[in-house]
Structure 1
Amino acid sequence: MEHNRPAVSVIIPVYMVEDYLRECLDSAVKQTLSNIEIICVDDGSPDSSAQIVEEYASKHSTVRLIRKENGGQSSARNMGLDVARGEYVYFLDSDDYLDLNTLEELYTRAEADKLDILCFNCVPFFESDKIKNDNQNFIDYYDRKGDYSGIHSGPVMFSKMRPNREFFASVCLQLIRRELIESACLRFFEGIIHEDNLFSFQCMMLAQRVSYVRKSYYHRRVRGESTMTASQSMKNVQGYIVAYAEMIAFMRNRQLEPEVAEHVSEYLFNSIFGNARRIFYSLDIPSEQAVLDKGDFCAAHFLDMIKRSGETEFERSYIKSENASLRSRLKTVEDEYRTSVAYRVGNVLTFVPRMAVLAVRGVKRHGLSYGLRAMKLRAKQKLGGSAPLVSIIMPVYNVEEFLEQGLDTLLQQTLKRIEIICVDDGSTDRSLEILNEYAARDSRVKVFTQQNQYAGAARNLGLSHAKGEYVVFLDSDDFFAKGLAEQAYTAAKLADADIVLYGAKHYNNKTGEYKDAKWLLNTAIAPKKQPFSYKDCPEHIFRITSPCPWTKMFRREFVEKSGLQFQHTQNSNDLFFTLSALAM
């Protein structure tokens, strides 16, 4: 482990828990593992919660308080992740507590076995006898009974736990390697409840080494107003629907063994979607209508659910209702559904109808009204043929030391319909040989050569061969996060944008540490509306982003019609291209 790096980052979202917080913090600061950091993110608490954390921070150097405006538990956890430095991360809810030896025992086991995730159990405790009597099913709910010994990949461990209904989504019951989260750019989905379902599922599907210890380290408080005992509401329905749609999008084109894929399919439809259906039918009619009025997003998903499960109550209640506009809206979705195909190709999990697949990453900005356009975008990414959606252009010159890392991250992109155009600029080392090796292994890699004319000319040559709808640029000594192409392309299509801006981090090859590079993307001064142009912020359009081409995705048609080219100079050959594009 790197020098001075915490073994574990404990992330505690804090909101209005003054009555319980001290018990939680005591269990954290008294851990027998001393090499930890405790990151408490106060989510705009109106009570004395933040003051209590400050008190602990003044006495314990491991405790850190971060304040933010109220944005929900997901946003608080995400802020904690953004500053976490530990080798592993652990999420602790602020009204619960841990056994004092928890982190030492978990970290020792995880480090010894080089685990990505270590799962464990929980024992609930109840605020009153009445609450206990009302929640008898929670008494031993989190005590797994199955045999999950050994080390397995995440999907295999999932397939072992799921048949026994012992895959628990709570992130409080997992110690997770931070690199697993950061390498996939994972964060909690903001603006919904049941965010744990999505985050835990994504982590498990990505993990290579997962193990389980049958011990109940975690003590979960069951109180009347907590999430798991609250009355079922519209937010529950919406949360499950978003989680369902995001899980489907996440699993698209991921290779799984047939048995594992079957368990994943069953979990998504019967558990996640099934919960949405069960809660939806428990609501009164006005509440049901309110869910549907959120937009085609909900309507399409519920119609898909009913068609797949063979039920007709939804149609009787709504399609045949007196609400003509709603009936018309659902009929449109139904017609689209009937032209869809539910299918599975080989052992690739692609089992859902095209109309059920949604790009919902904009919920926190746009609400739930993404509608049919977003669904069709997901369908295009999956079913629309073999032509590349994104061309990744990489100028290459004497970078044999770093080249393979960059190429590996491109081949691992979650968006598979890409082409990787590598232009060797007269390298004198093994760079061209490495490129040809990768091209022989993967047909998406295309290699072109030129005499040494610098990166600008190499990018222009790459552009002349590009066939993707959008293009991105990567310097050959850098690398992309695995989800970059998919996330940027989705954002571009949903906003119908010519350019998508994104940030980057500095990476230290010696220490393996990442550092923020906030100058590459200044969201604080960007217009709130999406998309925007220089006319919306003429005084600082060039301050929002840097001139670097590798923090932007461009629509290829826009580049070609604008006649944009990189300059044939050794240095600063990207200034004219990027600044001109931003000003158009």
Structure 2
Amino acid sequence: MSQPLISIIVPCYNVEAFIKKGLQSIYLQTYTNWECILVDDGSKDNVSGEIDIWVKKDSRYKYIYQDNEGVSSARNKGLDHATGDYILFFDPDDLFSTNALENLISLAKDDIDIIIGKNAITNGQNYDIVEYLVHYSKPLLKVSNQDKNLIKIVVEEPIICVAWNKLYRRDFLKTHNLKFKKGVLHEDELWFFETLFKANAVIFNNEPTYFYNVTNLNSVINNMGLKNLKSYLEIIEYIYEQYYKTETNKTNKELISIYITHLKIKAILHCYKQLNKKDRLEAKPIIEACFGRVTPVRTKKILADSFETLHYHFKLVKLLSPNLILRYLRYYKSSRIMRQIKAKWILKKATKTNNSKNRTIVDVR
């Protein structure tokens, strides 16, 4: 039986300092039937010289150059040139474990569209694990998406919304014409939603296959600002217009609403709170305008759970009044629900001091 070909797509922009180690971790894979498509996104450093070394060393490496258009465009270019049965995205400042491809492909089945790897966090481009990104609590178990329940799992766990370290069946991506949205930051948030919403089933592996380097200061993830917030809001509006408003199934519509609420919370907790005072003043009317346009109906449980999540980030929440947060997130459709949520918030506030030593702070990524 022939081994499936894996196309590894690597967007490259000014990563000369990291790419040697990154590509070496691909070269050392125990699973050998792969191609590596390196898309140079108009780098200003000598990354092309580093890539050329590997292209000459091994024909499985393929080099493509394009003018600087961003990571979404680079990944899409890689998808256009990929010939494999499976697609895998990799950032060159990170590392694979030596058995990453073997581990992931061993879970491949015709009815599974996405195989999701476990991610370790490192301080630097190395294998010294600091902690793990949140991973599904039931690995090696096929998760059917018949009721679109994958979206709910992502929010409840909460699983990190990234494109890398996942094997995608190429036929699945082609059937649904899935590409990255150009011109936005946090493109992975949208890609993650679209792929999980359309997948028939996924499976999670149970050992770390990807080592995510959090110390690269050039990473988009490490550069929060007003532009990042605006991109989050653009993604929220896109999902609302393209998916929520066109969906006719009531259950699916509610699950899309859950993800939109999830992104609204992330926009506040991981973008708004990073802004300086001046940018916050500019951001507030932008948030209000977006959240005013994006108003999916929510159930009472979604509202209460979402507001409780905000409470865990009390240092941010206490800066805003309950009414302001409620207005931002459009959580309430009646005064009764508003009173219930406000009462819960006040109770949490009153008990926070007594419980602070024993409570684990929950981070919605």
TM exceeding 0.5: yes
Q: Letter of the 1:300 partner, please give it.
A: A
Name the structure 2 match of 1:183. Answer: 175
Equivalent residues of 2:119, 2:212 under 8 A apart = yes
Distance 1:147 1:6 in 2: 22
Give the deviation of 1:193 after TM superposition.
Answer: 1.2
Deviates further, 96-105 or 229-238: 229-238
Distance 1:114 1:307 in 2: 32
Distance 1:204 1:52, change over 3 A: same
Name the structure 2 match of 1:39. Answer: 37
2:323 is aligned, of 286, 311, 331, to 311
2:241 is aligned, of 243, 246, 249, to 249
Distance 1:226 1:267, change over 3 A: farther
Name the structure 2 match of 1:482. Answer: none
1:163 is aligned, of 141, 156, 159, to 156
Give the deviation of 1:160 after TM superposition.
Answer: 3.4
Name the structure 1 match of 2:210. Answer: 218
Equivalent residues of 2:142, 2:201 under 8 A apart = no
Name the structure 2 match of 1:107. Answer: 105
Equivalent residues of 2:9, 2:78 under 8 A apart = yes
Structure 1 unmatched runs, 5+: 317-336, 343-584
Equivalent residues of 2:111, 2:200 under 8 A apart = no
Give the deviation of 1:240 after TM superposition.
Answer: 1.0
Could you list the per-position Cα deviations for residues 402-439 of structure 1 after superposition, in whole angstroms to 9, with x for gaps in the alignment? xxxxxxxxxxxxxxxxxxxxxxxxxxxxxxxxxxxxxx
Name the structure 1 match of 2:137. Answer: 145
Q: How does 1:168-567 map to 2 (within 5 A)?
A: 168-227=160-219, 230-252=222-244, 253-254=246-247, 258=251, 262-269=254-261, 271-278=262-269, 279-280=271-272, 282-288=274-280, 290-291=282-283, 300-304=289-293, 311-312=323-324
Could you list the per-position Cα deviations for residues 28-76 of structure 1 after superposition, in whole angstroms to 9, with x for gaps in the alignment? 1222222211000001111111111111001101000001111111111
Equivalent residues of 1:148, 1:157 under 8 A apart = no
Could you list the per-position Cα deviations for residues 454-479 of structure 1 after superposition, in whole angstroms to 9, with x for gaps in the alignment? xxxxxxxxxxxxxxxxxxxxxxxxxx
Distance 2:174 2:55 in 1: 27
Give the deviation of 1:175 after TM superposition.
Answer: 0.7
Q: How does 1:26-175 map to 2 (within 5 A)?
A: 26-110=24-108, 112-127=109-124, 139-146=131-138, 149-153=141-145, 155-166=148-159, 168-175=160-167
Q: Letter of the 2:241 partner, please give it.
A: A
SS at match of 1:12: strand
Name the structure 1 match of 2:337. Answer: none
Could you list the per-position Cα deviations for residues 273-317 of structure 1 after superposition, in whole angstroms to 9, with x for gaps in the alignment? 112233335534532455579xxx86630445799987337999x
Distance 1:115 1:183 in 2: 14
Equivalent residues of 1:280, 1:288 under 8 A apart = yes
Distance 1:31 1:257 in 2: 45
Distance 1:98 1:307, change over 3 A: closer
Q: Letter of the 1:74 partner, please give it.
A: S
Q: How does 1:566-581 map to 2 (within 5 A)?
A: none
Q: Letter of the 1:273 partner, please give it.
A: K
Give the deviation of 1:228 after TM superposition.
Answer: 6.5
Q: Letter of the 1:75 partner, please give it.
A: S
Give the deviation of 1:263 after TM superposition.
Answer: 4.5
Runs of 4+ deviating beyond 6 Å: 305-310, 313-316
Q: Letter of the 1:116 partner, please give it.
A: D
Distance 2:152 2:259 in 1: 10
Aligned residues: 303
Distance 2:40 2:124 in 1: 24
Could you list the per-position Cα deviations for residues 316-371 of structure 1 after superposition, in whole angstroms to 9, with x for gaps in the alignment? 9xxxxxxxxxxxxxxxxxxxx9xxxx8xxxxxxxxxxxxxxxxxxxxxxxxxxxxx
Equivalent residues of 2:93, 2:216 under 8 A apart = no
Distance 1:98 1:246, change over 3 A: same
Q: Letter of the 1:77 partner, please give it.
A: R
Name the structure 1 match of 2:312. Answer: none
SS at match of 1:204: helix
| Greater relative contact order (Cα < 8 A, sep 6+) | 2
Distance 1:82 1:97, change over 3 A: same
Equivalent residues of 2:123, 2:213 under 8 A apart = yes
Distance 1:159 1:303, change over 3 A: closer
Distance 1:315 1:115, change over 3 A: closer
